[in-house]
Amino acid sequence: MPSYPFIRLSDTPAGSSVRIRHVHSRPEISTRLREMGFYEDVIVRCITRTHGNLICEILNTRIGIDGDLANGIIVSPAEQ
């Protein structure tokens, strides 16, 4: 299995696509994030970053996410 450089979603540059590897937060927060589509192996594209917050495109939907929540989402580069 290849090694991936894991980073937090909050550190993802605008315009890049990444694959979610792990969602780490309190259980109720992790459950809600997964309900919104933030679950393992899904590809997310970071549209913009403003004041620590992100707008992401996930499953053909744009979602705004707080920087603190994005800190708990671990990602790696999306394989093309």
Q: How confident is the model at residue 79 (pLDDT cuts 50, 70, 90)?
A: confident
Tell me the mean pLDDT in the region 5-21. Answer: 94
Instruction: Give every strand in the sheet of 17-23, ordered side by side.
Output: 7-8, 73-77, 17-23, 43-50, 53-58, 61-65
Q: How confident is the model at residue 22 (pLDDT cuts 50, 70, 90)?
A: very high
Q: Give the range of the structural domain holding residue 70, as residue numbers without chain letter.
A: 7-77
**How many structural domains does the chain have?**
1
pTM higher than 0.85:
yes
Position 34 in a domain = yes
Tell me the mean pLDDT in the region 21-33. Answer: 93
Position 68 in a domain = yes
pLDDT of residue 54: 95
The CATH number for 11's domain is 2.30.30.90
Position 57 in a domain = yes
